[in-house]
Chains A and B, each alone.
Chain A
Amino acid sequence: MANDRTASLTGDPSAALSPSEILLEARELRKSYRRGGGVFSNSAKGPRFTAVDGVTLAVKGGETFAVVGESGCGKTTLARMLLRLIEPDSGSLRFEGRDLLRLSGSALRAERRQMQMVFQDPFASLDPRMRVGEIVGEPLAIHHAELRQTEKQERTAAILERVGLGADALKRYPHEFSGGQRQRIGIARALILRPKLVVADEPVSALDVSVGAQVLLLLKELQTEFGLTYLFISHSLPVVAQVATRIAVMRAGRFVEVGLADQVLQEPKDAYTRELLGAVPALPCRWSGS
């Protein structure tokens, strides 16, 4: 019990999970930027501020580890460090026990194949000049150049089909699709290499309510089907509540609370978590349908 409590407050992985269960582990990750990089600043030097300030986490294989927090708290910076798309200033990072920060070149590429990202903006994240077939098949072309062309095409068509897009999507361009369909294209691209970990950064924030719900449920189905582990980032507690097994609440670069989703939603320990929960506009006694 004491162990559980430390684990939920600090996110210390060793306290709660056995090493073999852990897919991704980060300790004391830190990243700072120079302040005032904006248009009104002309100094390259100046005080630094810390976007991610010592985050420790352990993501268990098969779970959905959600990070929730308000704008600018460091969620995207954290996600990009976890995939080593940006370098942390300090800290350690392990994927299936292997030290990610030590890897480079082909060894790093091999690990990256196991970890894919789904982005917030389905409009900006797809190359408008590429056909959907090329966009979704590109990771295969990069990581599995040895495959025959027909094999690549079949796999591309199959994954598009699985996310709910017909084979005619292959030859079309991103702008011909709605926001929800574009997000499905992004998901297909992320899954085509059969990764173990998918980092989804605000995957439904840009979508309509009815379409966002479709994408959330699709992500859940795919998780079971492909045995995926998710690191799910969102500013919305209601969205996170739909998918998370565990929730980390982030504020100003730190985790203020980590725990099982039900515990965080129903018995929040941290005052800030309670404030976030309290600010969610509630629906009147929910209509449950007939």
Chain B
Amino acid sequence: MTPLLDACGLTVELPTAAGWVRPVNEVSLSIAAGESLGLVGESGSGKTMLALALMGLLPAGARVGGEAWLGQKATGAGEPKRASEKSALGSGVPAGKDLCALKEREWRAVRGGEIAMVFQEPMTSLNPVMRIGAQIEEAIRAHESGLTEKDVKKRAVEALERAAVTEPGIRAQQFPHQLSGGLRQRAMIAMALAAGPRLLVADEPTTALDVTVQKQILDLLDRLRRELRLGLLFITHDLGVVAQVADRVAVMYAGRIIEEGPTLEVLAAPRHPYTQGLLKASPTLERGKLSPIPGSVPQLTALPPGCAFEPRCSLRRADCVTAVPELRRAEASHTARCVLVQ
């Protein structure tokens, strides 16, 4: 089956005073329709930069490398890349797009229309002086012409309804500050889904919410994903949240994916020492089990020569510093970037 999103060697480079840094370093991942991939990692590991690369929203001056196909990958790999739409020769499947090669003009149809994003703080993406309904209507109009005003209004209220916003007609008339944090995040989800995207990127959508509200939002995303066969890239630093929402999980450290596999497998039998450490450092309701990882995440400007986790790893060996370990197959569909994986 063709994955909805297929990223290969995706790299983001940013200019800093100390030279170019790579917050996203040769990341490969794929998401099928209806599938949810959890992306976990600590602060600065590159999660948001990866999400922004997929939305074409990287900061000015950023360089992007690699490929990220939305839909069927064009054949003829190896050809110099510039055309964003190539026909998949003979397959009969409509051609996909390489997000890494889109021009800003082409992004306008993709962003919101095919891929949408929800952020941690809905206030950063909601306009504070515009009614909720009007903002959703705007999102619908941006991607569908030929709808009557009445239809647009109706679609906006339906979008709110789908996101389980109570009294959607009334909420549509309100301003963002009049809604609670949880309702605002629902409105944000409604807006993101209003133009019918196939892929939803959710960057820490529940981190700022109370746990009881978080639970409702996670349930909502899960339901929408199934009903709409949405691909979901769910970004979080919370392994417990990943366990609730993700079919598969990718763990990021210093810009690279260091472990990837089915969520339950990765969380129950992690193969990378960092994933193991993160699990033991995550507080749960069990008492007296907490054990921290020593040290802290390396600066992107001063990465160790080999494995980025080596300075903090209690299992390090001599060959850990010679080269960055490749992703090795630990189980059928479970990989880890560690020399200990045979």
Residues of A that sit less than 8 Å from B by CB: 38, 40, 70-71, 178-181, 208-214, 216-217, 235-239, 241-242, 261-262, 265, 275-287, 289
Contacts and interface: CB of A to CB of B under 8 A. Distances in A.
B278 A285 contact: no
A258 to B, nearest CB: 18
A238 B276 CA distance: 18
B285 A280 contact: yes
Contact of A281 (B240, B278, B296): B240
B243 A213 contact: no
B269 A283 contact: no
A284 B277 contact: no
A217 B292 contact: yes
Contacts of B103: none
A241 B283 contact: yes
Contacts of A265: 285, 287
B267 A216 contact: no
A283 B215 contact: no
B239 interface: yes
Contacts of A242: 283, 287-288, 290
B243 A281 contact: yes
Nearest to A281: B240
Interface in B21-46: 42-43
B267 A210 contact: no
Contact of B239 (A212, A261, A283): A283
A239 B287 CA distance: 9
Given A276-B211, A285-B268, A211 B243 contact: no
A287 B269 contact: yes
Contacts of A180: 296
Contact of A241 (B211, B287, B292): B287
Closest 3 pairs (CB-CB, A-B): A281-B240, A213-B292, A238-B283
B185 to A, nearest CB: 13
B211 A213 contact: no
Interface of B: 42-43, 177, 181, 210-212, 214-215, 218, 237-241, 243-244, 263-264, 267-270, 276-294, 296-297
Given A213-B293, A216-B290, A276-B212, A239 B283 contact: yes
Contact of A208 (B42, B239, B244, B280): B42
B237 A287 contact: no
A281 B211 CA distance: 8
A70 B212 contact: yes
Given A265-B287, A283-B279, 8 more contacts: A38-B177, A211-B296, A212-B281, A213-B291, A235-B211, A284-B243, A284-B264, A285-B268
A232 to B, nearest CB: 13
A275 B212 contact: yes
A225 to B, nearest CB: 18
B276 A209 contact: no
Which of A179, A208, A262, A282 gathers most chain B CB within 10 Å? A208
Nearest to A266: B285
A87 to B, nearest CB: 28
B278 A238 contact: no
B293 A210 contact: yes
A283 B267 contact: yes
A289 B280 contact: yes
Nearest to B296: A178
A71 B210 contact: yes
B191 to A, nearest CB: 22
B270 A287 contact: yes
B283 A287 contact: no
A114 B214 CA distance: 38
Which of A238, A278, A282 gathers most chain B CB within 10 Å? A238
A208 B43 contact: yes
B268 A241 contact: no
Contacts of A279: 211-212, 214-215
A279 B263 CA distance: 20
B269 A209 contact: no
Contacts of A284: 243, 263-264, 267-268
Contact of A210 (B244, B269, B284, B292): B292
A213 B281 contact: yes
B293 to A, nearest CB: 4
A124 B321 CA distance: 37
A163 B103 CA distance: 51
